[in-house]
Amino acid sequence: MKILAPCNHPNEVDLLLEAGADELYCGVLSQAWRSRFTNLASCNRREWRAANLDDVEQLGRVVARTHAHGAVIHLALNAFYTEEQYPLVLEQVEQALALEVDALIVADPGLIRTLHERYPAVRLHISTGGTTFNRATVAFYRSFGAARIVLPRQLRIEEMTAIIAAHPDLEFEAFVLNSGCKNIDGFCTFQHGVSELRHGPLWKVPKRLGLDGLLLDGLRYVPKSLARKVRAGRLPMDSACHLSYQVTDLTQPSTKQSRCLAKNVKDSFSLLAAVDPCAACRLPELLAGGLHGVKIVGRNHPTAKKHRDVVFLRGLLDALSTDMVTDFRAMARQEFRRLYGYACAELCYYSDEAK
């Protein structure tokens, strides 16, 4: 099973691949795009400049360094586009293919069809924004040349396994670290990156310095009283995902299960929801289910965070391959504490199945 790591600068390539990543993915948010459509209408669903390469020249350096390691690099073009945006999107596609990018991560049905017709040999990876929740959707994308599907976060492992078994000739990815948003990517219209638009280049500095990573680590230790104030919207937010929402389950009477469901959803929409979830304990099941790769989310994360994530997963997968582990979950938690410096808080992907 492969480890897919995010990259937002050429200097990260060697570090991540030498740490154990098998594949990289990235996005480009150029000045030409931002000047016409702003970062809010990012061409790859990452609205912060610090999450992206700045231009095609940087992309070329990333591709060259990745290929020098014998690894592959994928370019994200996984937004949904207006007619006015298509010329710049297709220009970036042509530039990327000229640089020998190994695959394009896409979600827009119109772009998928266009790429299939114009570039039948290009590898198309369907983004989680493609909302592939069942086998019929996989078959639809397959008819347009899809080589790989990135499965949505909201699927259960047993559902992933059934989809993979029905299409053994395709590759599938699933998320395993960071950004466990309850929103369905392909249906979400929340805006991100507003503060960067308001404050300009200065907003890029904290992310480049890794200060946002320090904030996320610090949030793990805040008292509950402060957490409640954050959820109540008393601190400024950069995203609608972090505002306070009242959530009610209307599908069933108020039962313990209903109240737990509502609380789970409500707690997911707050600044504290950015404290990164994990599915490391589920690696044996994901591997047994036939998954091609596990994906680390976080192109905007500090390099040190990305490196630590790769080291964590590589160590677990290497141990899993030896068949010498008697209690994988316990080992994963021990490694988590050793590498991250704090105990697993059970912020789990696929937690409905966790034991």
Q: How far apart are CA 5 and CA 156, in angstroms?
A: 22
Q: Select from 25, 14, 73, 20 the least CA-distant residue to 310.
A: 20
Q: What is the DSSP string of 26-90?
A: E-B--HHHHHHHTGGG-TTS---GGGSBSSHHHHHHHHHHHHHTT-EEEEEE-S---GGGHHHHH
Sign of the C-alpha dihedral computed for residues 265, 267, 273 and 278 taken in this order: negative
Q: How many helices (H) and strands (E) does the chain have?
A: 15, 8
Confidence (pLDDT) at 354: 40
Residue range 280-320, pLDDT digits in tens: 999 999 999 999 999 999 898 889 999 999 999 999 999 99
Dihedrals phi, psi of 354, to nearest 5 degrees: -65, 145
As a whole-number percent, the residues of the chain with pLDDT over 70 amount to: 80
**Averaged pLDDT of the chain:** 85
Q: Select from 178, 341, 350, 311 the least CA-distant residue to 319.
A: 311
CB 309 within 8 A of CB 5: yes
2-6 vs 146-150, strand pairing mode:
unpaired
pLDDT band (50, 70, 90) for residue 49? confident
CB 309 within 8 A of CB 3: no
- 3-state SS assignment for residue 307: helix
pLDDT band (50, 70, 90) for residue 86? very high
Pick the CATH number of 2-189+275-353 from 3.20.20.380, 3.30.70.20, 3.60.15.10, 3.40.1410.10: 3.20.20.380
CB 266 within 8 A of CB 227: no
Higher pLDDT, 88 or 275: 88
Residue range 98-149, pLDDT digits in tens: 999 999 999 999 999 999 999 999 999 999 999 999 999 999 999 999 999 9
Give me Rg for the CA atoms of the chain: 20
Q: Is the pLDDT of residue 15 over 50?
A: yes
CB-based burial label for 84 (10 Å; 0-12, 13-18, 19+) = exposed
Confidence (pLDDT) at 355: 39
Q: Select from 284, 303, 304 the least CA-distant residue to 176.
A: 284
Neighbours of 209 (CB within 10 A): 12
Residue range 62-85, pLDDT digits in tens: 999 999 999 999 999 999 999 999
Q: Domain coordinates of the chain in residue numbers?
A: 2-189+275-353, 227-267
Confidence (pLDDT) at 175: 94
Residue range 270-281, pLDDT digits in tens: 655 556 788 999
